[in-house]
Structure formats: C-alpha cells, structure tokens
C-alpha cells in the first residue's frame, strides 16, 4: 500500500513508520519535515499535500496538538487551538482526502487516553479526543467506495513520560512501538468506525 503518514517525525509517528515501512510505501508529512509539508490547521496546506502525494491507499495521522492548563485558566482561545489543530485538522484529513484515497482505503486518526480517563488540566484533550471518536463512528457509516475510518487512542507514551508524566500520575505508560501495532491493525485490517484503545 501507499500510505501518507502525517506527523511522521513525532514519537508515535516514528514508531508507526518503523512498523509499516518494511511492508508499504510511506509518504511522510509534517509542518517542517517529511516528503510533503502539511499544516493541519490550514485546509489549503492539506489540499496541497494531498495533490503532491498523489493517489493513496491509506492515510495515518499521528499529529495534533491541544492545550494543557487548569480549567480555571482555560480561555476560549485555548479550546479553539485544540479544536482547530487536533480535531478539525484530522477531520479535514478525511474530508479533503476522500478523493485521493483508493477504493477500500483507510483513514487512521489519533485520539488519546483522556477520552475515557480524564486528568486535571486535560479538559481540552478529553473534549477533542471524545469528539474524534464520535466523528469516526459517524463518518464510518457514510464513507463510500468501501473507505474506512478508525481512531487509535493510546495511553501516555513511555518516551514522552519525562515531559508529561507529572500530569499522568498513576498511569502505566505505553511504549510507542506497542501503540504502533494498533495503527497497523487499523491500516491492514478491515474494521471501521472503531476506536483502538492502547493502555
């Protein structure tokens, strides 16, 4: 398969690339690195990246940012940031990518553990991850030509625990390579409208 991997330079993206590269052709995408440049917050950038990448059999997103702050400090702009980047950025990958994706092709989006296990300072992430899950569940029944869409929802990644671990006390971290297996399951399997939890 020819797979567009968005966020390939990140911790999860690198692990997904390592998992899939031996079996498939990867086209990597990111804001400042990769085979094509893509800014998830800019639909024109997404369109241009798809045009440059050409026909695809799968799209995997390992990208998306949100704001972590105490609720009492969160502003409308803080929530809008996550909605524009991690939520609508990935929704637009689907909306704008359908015509570039082959019959039976798949979209795999990235959510996270806060969709089901909230933490202090994580209200934006919980909101966005829950919305991504609901989007995939709904979009799966409407995509045509046999196209599929799923979400991978990993726990906090071991390799990122030094940076984020203080927010995730009591959570058992997940190796990026283990999370990458869920992306392979989504891409190479047949399920659609599914959230792959990796705890």
Number of domains in the chain: 1
Cβ neighbours of residue 157 closer than 8 Å, sequence gap 6 or more: 11, 12, 173, 174, 175, 176, 179
Instruction: Pull the structure tokens for residue 174.
Output: 């997940």
pLDDT in tens, 126-143: 999 999 999 999 999 999
pLDDT in tens, 64-104: 999 999 999 999 999 999 999 999 999 999 999 999 999 99
CA–CA separation, 148 and 193 (whole Å): 7
- Residue closest to 54 by CA, chosen among 34, 39, 35: 35
CATH of the domain at 84: 3.40.50.720
pLDDT in tens, 13-59: 999 999 999 999 999 999 999 999 999 999 999 999 999 999 999 99
Coil, strand, or helix at residue 173?
Answer: coil
Query: For residue 13, what are the domain limits?
Result: 2-198
List strand residue ranges (DSSP E) for 16-174, in order. 25-30, 36-37, 56-61, 101-110, 148-154
């Amino acid at each position: 398969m020819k797979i567009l991997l968005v966020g390939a330079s990140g911790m999860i993206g690198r692990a997904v690339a390592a998992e899939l590269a031996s079996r498939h052709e990867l086209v990597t995408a990111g804001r400042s690195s990769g085979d094509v440049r893509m800014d998830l917050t800019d639909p024109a950038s997404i369109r241009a990246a798809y045009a440059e990448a050409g026909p695809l059999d799968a799209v995997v997103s390992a990208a998306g940012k949100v704001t972590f702050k105490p609720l009492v400090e969160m502003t409308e702009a803080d929530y809008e940031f996550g909605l524009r980047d991690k939520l609508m950025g990935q929704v637009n990958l689907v909306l704008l990518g359908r015509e570039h994706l082959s019959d039976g092709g798949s979209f795999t989006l990235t959510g996270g553990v806060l969709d089901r296990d909230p933490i202090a300072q994580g209200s934006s992430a919980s909101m966005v991850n829950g919305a991504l899950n609901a989007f995939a569940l709904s979009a799966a029944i409407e995509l045509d030509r046999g196209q599929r869409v799923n979400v991978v929802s990993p726990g906090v990644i071991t390799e990122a625990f030094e940076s984020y671990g203080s927010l995730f006390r009591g959570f058992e971290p997940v190796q990026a390579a283990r999370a990458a297996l869920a992306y392979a399951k989504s891409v190479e399997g047949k399920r659609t409208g599914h959230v792959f939890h990796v705890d």
